[in-house]
Structure 1
Amino acid sequence: MHKKLLLIPVFLISVLVFGLVRRPNASPIAIESTSIWQKYERYKEAALSSRMFKHSDIMPLLQKHIASGVFHSTVVGKSVQGKTLNLLTIGKGKTKVLLWSQMHGDESTATMALMDIFNFLSASDENDAFRKMLTDNLEINFLPMLNPDGAEAWKRRNGLDIDINRDARLLNTPEARVLTHVADSIKPSFGFNLHDQSTLYAAGATKNQATISFLAPAYNYVKDMNEVRQNATKLIVLMNRTLQKYAPEKVAKYNDAFDPRCFGDTFQGKGISTILIESGGYPNDPEKQYIRKLNFYVILSSLHAIAQKAYESEDLKAYMAIPDNNRSLYDLVIRNAEVTKGNSRFRAHVGINRSQIADLTNRSMSYRGYIEELGDMEKSYGYEEADASALISVPGKIKVMKKADWEQLSLAEELTLAGQGYLFVKFSDQKSPTGPLKNRLLNLSNSSTANMQAIGLGQSANFILSDGKKPVYAVINGFLVDFSKEVKVLSNAYGY
């Protein structure tokens, strides 16, 4: 009898401890019991390996799924330049969901993820039970690449040079009219507005990239929280928990200032629980392939949560605890660099960014590095950082040689020149090309003198950091070269 009595408090303590650890307001993440993350490569659409693709690239992929009979498809309209806008539908459930991507033409990460999701939904394997839950309980509608004209030119706006996501009220663009008509016809319970944002946003005042940022948009200026917006907010809480395992501390919350021109705000006001997903940056992922996988996984997870109504038990306070989206990152930060300006010499932090330059076919990207910030950058961080406290800053020198000799330079020879302080080559027999230079380490120059000062606000990011005897680092076109490590060709050098 005494043994039984002793067991009762032990049992009660166990229940209480389990309850604290397994918070009652935190619904289980169903997707974690599947092999979907581990088997992602099975579903990844191999035809899309970079983010700069066009309407002509995705149409065969859509046709493949339409022909399989798994999806029902409708051409719901055309872009300004006559490209088809296709709605793909799957599922027989009563709860309707609408997902649209790439209403900004140069924001393609989610479109890649949707192609992966199509492959997943068309497959048959050990994850069939997960698929069945989706298709039995949901009708899922996809409108991928809403702005194909912008994608063709790799620009934000459409063929009329209008931002589609600021056209929800006037409906001047055919793409905005299509999206509005589709939403009004389907009357979805949930909507997913899928975007990309700058890679230079952080999750709060930290060095952590805002790899994914969420928003449950406001539907009025006072930012009321009705049931429709609450449902979107609760779903975001669950999505954040899903991502923390794979992108810990790299999830942020977007600003919720109301804008009646935007589709998320407008749809929220129409009674569609709308979730904005912004894909930002992740280290060593310029083509956003890991972020693509995160999109694939978290969208599937959220669809399953909608099918099970698992989001309903989430705590709204957890949404407010997600750190704010904060523009505080740089591609490269040099700490405590020596800066000379006229007769003044001081040490300051240097923030360097690399502007993106699409090639003539809008199929690949190059970069041009420049110095964007100079001074106290205590609350700013770099994807890469270097400490120059014990170093001096030196302008890069120009090596003069014939074009034919430059063409024969190996990486090892370019590295030797950089180690001697040369960051530029000038041709002695002709003018050199300007713009991005692929597969090179050194820049080209048509000037006889490099930058007069090593570091200056707004100037190109090309300088040496030396210990007084030899270079320790070089910054070439905004990329950091560490002479103590193996050096490879840059994404691109630059011709000035």
Structure 2
Amino acid sequence: MEYRELFDACKENAISGRYVTLDDILPLLKQHSSHGMVKSVGNSVNGLPLLSYKVGSGPRRILLWSQMHGNETTATKALFDVFNFLCGKSEPARKLLSEFTFCFVPMLNPDGAKAYTRENAAGIDLNRDFHELTQPESRALVELFEEFEPEICYNLHDQRTIFGVGDTGRPATISFLSPAFNHNCDMNACRQKAVEVIVGMNAVLQALIPGQVGRFDDSFNINCVGDNFQFRGIPTVLIEAGHYPSDYQREQTRFYFFVSLLSGFQYLSENDIVANAIDDYLNIPQNKTVFFDFVYRNVNVNYDGIEKNTNFAAQYKEELVGKTIGFDAYIVQVGNLENHYGHIEINADGRIFRNDAHNFPEIGQKANFYLGNDVKIVNGLKKM
């Protein structure tokens, strides 16, 4: 399958960027209601509808949900690209719809989406609420899960730019996990099925972004939805959208997410699940927190008349301004940055650091400063 050509044809151009709310997707779901069934499965804390979209007539059932964390929007965009693919006339789409019934929840946390927060309107991280089920959004997903009786689930998220693929120095653009079902992180038939699908998706992605796929930490937590559903005996695949170079709007990563979803569906369609993929799964390097958005190396700093050479790093903070996400860079670490990388790295070549405050980098300062007399840094970036 030519994924780039397919994505360009199916991309839903009505939504883009990092800020996606219920208001953005409601007219799109209305359009797709002629191809499948849009249904309310509950309400958020603030009374907004939790909507599902069911499409397909096959006996095998796949349940997917996105934006459990309101500020994680890449998967939501990719889902609407998938919707466009499924409602097309292509033979691969018709085949999937005849084999599977898909149930999508494209926005589980509409209150958090509107406020651009991880938590819901009650300040609860929904992905830590699937044992106690204190929140209406959590209860709605569990009720849908029990009613729909899926063969496999997809838990769709974004991860921060800090994650790299092991010690390779490459960003984790896409990360996968087959969650644990117990504290020993054992493998059983349920978990192995998710592993097998992940290995299939990874094989496709390695041809597109070699070395930029990571494996998420599998520490068991019964409060997390993937761990909880896997504990209940239903294979659950976690996909995390991460950083692609210079892609802070996650539009390139959106493409790789689209590829992950379609290649996973194709793998389920074309392959009998067997239990021989565990080594291939474990060979996907585990994510490590080794990246900053900016790293400045070999900077000279004047501390009370004594000149020292140091390194420091800055990280973007995402802030909602109106209906736009702003990226403001702040200094977050000073000193030893061994085994860490910057998505953007600047070598000061011994230039003196100066700013409008104390003329040395401090954690929490905005990343606006000079390096020597010829390099000006504004919001983390070198001003040309």
TM-score normalised by L of structure 2: 0.96
Contact kept? 1:454, 1:462, Cα under 8 Å:
no
Counterpart in 2 of 1:38?
5
Checking the alignment, whether the CA contact within 8 Å between 1:95 and 1:307 is kept in structure 2 is no
Asked whether 1:153 is paired with 2:115, we answer: yes
> Secondary structure of 1:117's match?
helix
Match of 1:188 in 2: 150
- Aligned ranges 1:81-100 → 2 under 5 Å: 81-100=46-65
Q: Is the 8 A contact 1:238 1:311 kept in 2?
A: no
Residue 16 of structure 2 corresponds to which residue in structure 1?
Answer: 49
Inter-partner Cα distance in structure 1 for 2:230 and 2:178: 8
- Is 1:254 equivalent to 2:216 in the alignment? yes
Q: Distance in 1 between matches of 2:77 and 2:15?
A: 7
Give the structure 1 partner of residue 379 of structure 2.
477
* Aligned twin of 2:324: 364
Aligned sequence identity (%): 36
TM-aligned CA deviation for residue 270 of structure 1 = 1.2
Deviation at 1:313, TM superposition (A): 7.1
Q: What SS class does the counterpart of residue 392 from structure 1 fall into?
A: coil
> What SS does the aligned partner of 2:15 have?
coil
Partner of 1:64: 31
The higher relative CO (CA closer than 8 Å, separation ≥ 6) is in: 2
Residue 206 (structure 1) shift: 2.7
Q: Which residue of 1 aligns with 2:41?
A: 76
Q: CA deviation at 1:85?
A: 1.4
Q: For residue 277 of structure 1, what is the aligned residue in structure 2?
A: 239
Aligned to 2:354: 395
Separation of aligned partners in 1, 2:66 and 2:5:
25
Partner residue of 1:110 out of 75, 78, 82: 75
2:197 to 235, 238, 242: 235
Moved beyond 4 Å, runs of 4+:
none
Report how far residue 238 of structure 1 moved.
Answer: 1.2
**Counterparts of 1:200 and 1:262 in 2: how far apart (Å)?**
21
Q: How does 1:280-429 map to 2 (within 5 A)?
A: 280-309=242-271, 311-312=273-274, 315-359=277-321, 361=322, 363-389=323-349, 391-396=350-355
Distance 1:51 1:460 in 2: 22
Q: CA RMSD in A?
A: 1.6
Per the TM alignment, residue 343 of structure 1 is displaced from its structure 2 partner at its CA by: 4.4
Corresponding letter in the other structure for 1:298: S
Distance 1:464 1:393 in 2: 8
Paired residue secondary structure (1:123): coil
Any conservation in 2 of the 1:55–1:152 contact (CA below 8 Å)?
Answer: yes
What is the CA deviation profile of residues 200-248 of structure 1, one whole-angstrom value per residue up to 9, with x for unaligned ones? 2111113211111111000111111100001101111111111112222
Which runs of 5 or more structure 1 residues have no equivalent in the other structure?
1-33, 397-449, 482-486, 488-496
CA contact (8 A) 2:299 2:353 kept: no
Q: Which residue of 1 aligns with 2:228?
A: 266
For 1:394 and 1:339, the matched residues in 2 are separated by: 5
- Look at both structures and tell me which one has the larger radius of gyration over its CA atoms: 1
Q: Counterpart in 2 of 1:452?
A: 358
Q: Quote the residue 2:367 is aligned against.
A: 461
May I ask how many residue pairs the two structures share in their alignment?
384
**AA partner of residue 477 (structure 1):** N
Give the Å deviation of 1:311: 4.9
**Higher mean displacement: 45-54 or 108-117:** 45-54
Equivalents in 2 of 1:256, 1:342: separation in Å?
47
The answer on whether the counterparts of 1:114 and 1:296 sit within 8 Å (CA) in structure 2 is yes
- AA partner of residue 475 (structure 1): I
